[in-house]
Amino acid sequence: MRGMLRVGTNISNQIRRLRTFSRRELFDLWRKLYGKVAPPAIRREILVPFLAYKIQENAFGGLKPTTRAVLRRMARALERNPSSKRLIRPRIKSGTRLFRQWRGQMHEVFVTESGYEYRGVGYRSLSEIARKVTGVRWSGPAFFRLKNANSVAGDRHD
């Protein structure tokens, strides 16, 4: 078959060539890559990117288990509430350091795999740390200015 891709050829070239494939060739490739028949009504505009992703996944590996878990959680949330605007809180990469000046004192938080570290003590949330620093209940993301400017309350205490 003219359009079938060969293992070991340049990934970019393989993906570029997908645009030249006939619908039949795209369906055949789908069957080869996914091990099942493509949805019959799938549009070419959807088919090509799915195939391009699968080619890359086969060449370079798929999503990390943690990313797959996040996507599953988002899908379940959408099933429960299709109009949900906020499906998941952004995750700060471990190793990140957050700084916040509060009443003349600098506070530093280190992001770990399991949460946060502040002054040598582990915490599960930024809100726990914000409460420790300020003495009152406060959104940790707002305190550390991780939310947009319109949602940050209390900056008047600087």
Is residue 53 located within the same domain as residue 103?
no
CB distance 120 to 132 below 8 Å: no
Is 76 part of a structural domain of the chain?
no
Is 48 part of a structural domain of the chain?
yes
* Domain limits for position 104: 97-157
Domain count, the chain: 2
CA distances from 33 to 26, 28, 63, 129 (A): 10, 9, 17, 48
The sign of the torsion formed by the CA atoms of 32, 35, 39, 44 equals negative
Is 75 part of a structural domain of the chain?
no
Structure tokens at 13: 């070239």
Is residue 103 located within the same domain as residue 152?
yes
Is residue 150 located within the same domain as residue 103?
yes
The pLDDT profile of the chain, 158 residues, written as one tens digit per residue, is 444 555 556 889 999 999 999 999 999 999 999 999 999 999 999 999 999 999 999 998 888 888 888 889 888 888 888 777 665 556 788 899 999 999 999 999 999 988 899 999 999 999 999 999 999 998 888 899 887 533 333 433 43
